[in-house]
Structures are given as C-alpha cells and as structure tokens.
A and B are shown apart, each in its own frame.
Chain A
Amino acid sequence: MDVINNIFLIGRQIIATVLGFFLPLPVVDAVIAIISMALVLGFAAVTMMGQVYVERRVLGFMQDRKGPNRVGPFGLLQIIADAIKLLTKEDIMPSRVDRMVFRLAPIVVVATALLIWAVVPLGRGMIIADLNIGILYVISISSVGVLGFLMAGWSSNNKYALLGSMRAAAQMVSYEIPLVLSIIGIIMLTGSLSTVSIVNAQAGLWFVIWQPLGFVIYFISAVAEINRSPFDLVEGESEIVAGYFIEYSGMRFALFYLGEYISAFAMSAIATTLFLGGWQGPILPPYIWFVIKAWAVFIVLIWIRATLPRLRVDQLMGLAWKVLIPLALINIFVTAVVLVPLFQSVAK
C-alpha cells in the first residue's frame, strides 16, 4: 500500500540515487526538477484534453443532447481531431495589428496558467517547489494573466477586442481583491503561506468547514478570475463576439483555449489545496484523491456554465465591490476573533 501511495516519490528517489553515482548534487537536483516539471506539464496537457471532452459531454447531457460521439469510441478522439484541425489551419495575421504583441499574447496567457502548477501539491511530497510564499506566488502569477488579455485586445486593432480587454482588466483587477481577502482567513488559521503546510493543516477537518464563507467568496472570485460563465464577460460571445481573441485563428486561437482550460483546472486545484484538504483522504492514494477533488470542482464549473446567464458589466463590478469585499472583510474579522483561538485549541 505504501508503495502505491508513494510511487512517485520512490521513483524520484531511485532516479536521484542512480544519477548521484556519476553527477554532482546540484545537477541531480536540476535534472529531477526538469523531470518533475515535464511530468506536471504532461499532466496539465492531458488533463486539458480530458477537460474539453468532459465539458462537451457533460454539457451535452445537461442540455438533453449527446455531445461529441462520432470520432473514436464515445467520441474520445474528438479532441485529437480538433487539435489536428487547429494545428493545420492557416495562421491568419490581420493587417494593421501590432505583430510582436499579437504573437506574444497567447504565450503569456498559457505560460502564466502553467506557472501556477509549480506550487500545487499533487500528492504527499509531490510538488515542484514548496515555496514558503506559495499562495502569494499563485495570486501574483494569476494577476499577470490579465496582461496577456490586454496585449491580445490592444494589439488586435479591433473594437470588440478592445472592449473585451478593457472588461478583462476591470474584472480581474476587481476580483483579485476578494480572492486575496478570502484566502487570508486560511493563512490566519495555518500561519503559513506555503501550500504544503496548508494541506498538512487539513489532516483533521478541511478548511471548507472552518471557512465556508471564505470558500464561497474564493470560488466566486476565482470563477471571475478565470473568465468562466457567469463571469465570461471578457469573451461574451453574444455581446462582443469573442472579446479579446476575436482576431485570432488556428493555433494561436487554440492557445487561448489551452490557457483558459489550464487555468480553470489550476483554479480547481488551488481550491482543492486550500479548502478541500488537498491530497488528504482515506484508502485511495493521495494523488488519486487530489485528482478526484480537482475534477469535482471542475465539474461544478461546467454545471454553472450550463445553468447561469452572464452578468452585466456594472452588476459584475457591484458584486465584487459591494458584496464580496465586505463579506470577505467580515470573514477575516470572524476568523480573527472566533476561529483562530478555536482552531488552535482543537489543534492542540
């Protein structure tokens, strides 16, 4: 049982030992880091393909239709067909765009989405970098993402794109604040910014029990942060057509989608880490628990998408500034006065 639970750690140990015979220690560390990064990237990419498939199928079932079911068994190869289609499409660069920025924007979006994975503990000890400021890192990286949207919208030389990127800037800057404030409660409970110690602190009760309000605020702000329905104003296909990426086509277009799905799953992973006990769970190996929880959060996202219409831009701002931020402040207050002493007495 222990072997299965720690299979990745054991694998790492074996590689490190073998390499240790003929390589100096810093080089071994670097090689190990590169291998883990490649594994996490592979995990994110495979997950992304699964996400697209699951999203389309689940949406299909929720909407009383079948979803993709033609390519391969149960339509499983649909995503491969789509990827081939997008890769072989003509790469259209509209005239009068700012070429440099136009090319760079999708890369910024995808890169920032991937960077978050560095501090997500996928299982016991399975983390690329256990930063002591892990949460701060997540928040700062996700605010860089808006830069990609702004670059795309500005460089496209299109009014819809401009409207979309302006919406993106306003929305993401506004929702950053309740997002941070909702996490502060957890940081107060654990006294640490490290994702690993946050997960370890949830060995008993998950933080969603300690911080229900914080979880709701976090979830809403995070959905807004990753621009998914009902906060998909940035794309708003029925209003501003596709928003910031209206002029993109082919692989660059696909990169935006890639970034969107990766950050959606990263958000689910962070929610799992912060509130749902991370990899903690009985019987099953920790990394399986982690995947199950993250997928559960993602399916809730799909469910929301199939249910809710889009907010208007002023209602969106009103929700952030008039509802979520005051609630988050109340949450911090309650946490400081009641929950922290209680939590410490339980922990003892």
Chain B
Amino acid sequence: MSEATATSGNTALDTKIKTDQIVVNMGPQHPSTHGVLRLMLTLDGETVVDAEVVLGYLHRGFEKLCEEGTYTQNISLTDRLDYFNSMNNNWAYVKAVEMIMGIEVPERAEYLRVIMSELQRLVSHLACTGFYVSDIGAMHTPLLYAFRQREEILDLFEMACGARMTCNYFRIGGVSKDVPDGWIARLKAFLDQLPSKIDELEGLLTGNEILVARSKGVGVMTSEMAINYSITGPCLRATGVQFDLRKDVPYSVYPRLSFNVPTLRNGDVMDRFLLRILEMRECVKIIKQAIEQLPEGEVRTPVPLNLRPPIGEALSRIEGPKGEMGYYVVSDGSIAPYRVHQRPPCFINLGIARELFIGTKVADVVAILASLDPIMGEVDR
C-alpha cells in the first residue's frame, strides 16, 4: 500500500515512489462526527489504511448514576442518552422495571406508548437522513426539509408532555398523563400530509445522481457480518435479515397492528437510508391503526411513589430506531436499582465501523459513519 510504482517506457527511469502514511485525528471536534466521536485514521493519501474509534468524551457515568436515584427518578436520566430517541429510551427502562414488578399497563397507555415510540422513530430517521445528506456536502437543504417534519412531531411531544426532546413521558405503570384535547386531531392532520413529505425526502435521496454515486456500494456489510457484530435495526435489515423485535419478540400491542418489516439486500450506505425511508412509511401505518384502536380509560396503573420492586432482574428488549434497545435492571428490593445497564444500539453498531472504514476514502468514512447513525449521548453514556 505504501509504495506505488511509477511506470515509464524507460526501465532505467523506473522508480519506486515512497509515500508516507499520516495519522489524522478526526474529532473529537469535527463537523461531521455527530458529536464528540474521535476517529484516528491512518491515511495513505486519501485511502484509509487503519482506523481506530476512540470513545468516552461524553461519558457521564449513567449506569453509576442510576444506582443513586430511585426507580422513578432514573426515567429522566434515560431521556438524555439518545436525545433523538427519548421516548424509546423511557420505554425500554420502564419496561424492565415493570417486568421485575409484574405490573400490567392499561391498554390506553400501551397504545399511547406505541404512538409515541413510532413518532420518535420518525424523528430519529428524519434527523439521520437529513444529517447524512449534509454530511456528504449538500449544504443542509435536505436537512432542513427533514427538520420541518421533525419540528411538527416535536410540537406534538410538547403538547403531550411539555418537553420537545427530553420528554420524560413514560412512567412505571403507564404514561405520565393522557394526551390533551385536540392532540389526536392534530396528529391525524400531520399524518395525512406526512407521506407526501416522505416521498419528497426519498426523491432527494434517490433522485440525486451524485448522492447515489457516493452511497451505492460504499460501506457494504453482509448479513453474516452484521449479525456477528451484533448490528441491529435498519443497518441489519438493510443486509436482508428480517429481524425486528416488534415481530420476532412481540411486545406491547404490536401483535394487534399490521405492518411489514421492510428489508433490502445490498447492505451499503444507500440501502441503509432507503430502508429508513421504508420504515417511516410503516410508522405512519402503525400510528394510524393505533389511533383507530385507541381505547378510552386510565393511562396509568397506580404504583407507590417510593417504588420497591421485588428482588429480581430483567432485560427488556424493544425495537428502537437505531436497533435493539434494552435495559438490564437488577433489583435488590430497595428504592434504588442495584444495577442498571443499557444495551446501547449506537455503541454496539459502532463496533463494525473500523472494519467498514479500512480501504475506503476519507470522504466515505463520513458517509459510513452517518449511515450507522451514532448518537454520542448514547454511545458514551
């Protein structure tokens, strides 16, 4: 790799050009590492020879902090892990506690949880797709188009729980409060115009010659590779594996809703984003059905303020927008959890990054990274 032969007609003039490799630190402060990720790239010209992912610049000791707070207090900490995905983080955490306690959640709350989770999936996919296009140099236009829809969803979140990003909406035994009057009508109006906007976003991806050239065949992973590296979510399904916890390990009211698990075959950057577009369409389907089936009633099973779950442990598993989300919670019968561990999809999906980076160009590193969709709040915890 480090030597290139200069060919010429005269053999006496044939020389070996010696090239030096340079180590470039991409990050922790870099415009397209999605926060404070640091990549140590060894470059030969523009080609990546070796790469190392250096993490931890945003480490807050989440798991240790959880051992100090009560079960309910910790819900607000989970908001701050993946800040594009607070609803699903909430859900995975409260689900683990509910599994230990064996609490049944009221049906209306389950439907509201599904609606919120799917809206959050839309937010996450919109942001991810938008950021990707601006990461490969499109001057934010698609990003702002995507954020227009995201903004409306955040408004809906604000109506429901008072916060836009760190929602803290879920409670052990249900959700914090019922949605306000007019919320469902507004959600319906939003859903009616969303499909055309998703088509527009897809057009921005597939109709752009340069973008397709930059994404097709870049960062290819096979399905065996993906499963072996514990990759989940859109990245796994883009390799052709139909694995979605909403279908494979059904939870909540998902069995009552009909939707597809889209898959694509190539496993490259392009497919990962097209798959996110396909998933967004499924989200709309799911939410529409959930609104129709939404029953009246309580939204919260009463639980004591100072919750003392029985001794035990549980791993909750839900399908987040980035992949499988889970919380492993151990209870010792006191008011604070003995051990909380999150299964962070962003962190685990980054494990394959090094293998995908090697042999590509510097510009591809940015594209591949964006397609893995790491959110540093969750990676570093």
Contacts and interface: CB of A to CB of B under 8 A. Distances in A.
Interface of A: 59, 62-65, 159-160, 162-163, 166-167, 229-230, 232-233, 236-241, 305-315
B46 A59 contact: no
Contacts of A312: 213-214, 361, 363-364
Contacts of A166: 45
A239 B32 contact: yes
B350 to A, nearest CB: 18
A310 B46 contact: no
17 contacts: A59-B139, A63-B139, A63-B141, A159-B22, A167-B46, A230-B210, A239-B32, A306-B141, A308-B138, A309-B211, A310-B210, A311-B213, A312-B214, A313-B362, A313-B363, A314-B46, A315-B210
Given A159-B22, A307-B138, A309-B210, A240 B144 contact: no
B140 interface: yes
Given A309-B208, A310-B137, A241 B31 contact: yes
Interface string B51-95: 000000000000000000000000000000000000000000000
Contact of B134 (A59, A238, A313): A238
Most interface-central of A63, A237, A239, A315 (chain B CB within 10 A): A239
Nearest to A238: B32
Nearest to B148: A64
B362 A240 contact: yes
B148 to A, nearest CB: 6
Most interface-central of B133, B138, B139, B361 (chain A CB within 10 A): B139
Contacts of B363: 233, 236, 239, 310, 312-313
A307 B145 CA distance: 12
A313 B136 contact: no
B20 to A, nearest CB: 11
A237 B210 contact: no
B186 interface: no
Contacts of B366: 238-239
A238 B139 CA distance: 10
Given A62-B141, A230-B210, A238 B361 contact: no
Contacts of B43: 163
A238 B362 contact: no
Given A64-B145, A239-B366, A311-B210, A232 B361 contact: no
B141 A230 contact: no
Interface string B202-219: 000000101101100000
Contacts of B144: 63-65
B138 A309 contact: yes
A313 B24 CA distance: 17
A308 B23 CA distance: 30
A306 B134 CA distance: 10
Contact of A229 (B139, B145, B362): B139
B30 interface: yes
Identify the 9 closest CB pairs spanning chains A and B, nearest first. A310-B137, A309-B138, A238-B32, A309-B136, A63-B144, A309-B137, A312-B363, A306-B141, A238-B135
Contacts of A229: 137-139
Contacts of B365: 239
B361 to A, nearest CB: 6
A309 B43 CA distance: 23
Given A239-B363, A241-B31, A315 B137 contact: no
B140 A63 contact: yes
B46 A163 contact: yes
A228 to B, nearest CB: 10
Contact of A314 (B134, B208, B361): B361
Given A163-B362, A239-B32, A310 B136 contact: yes
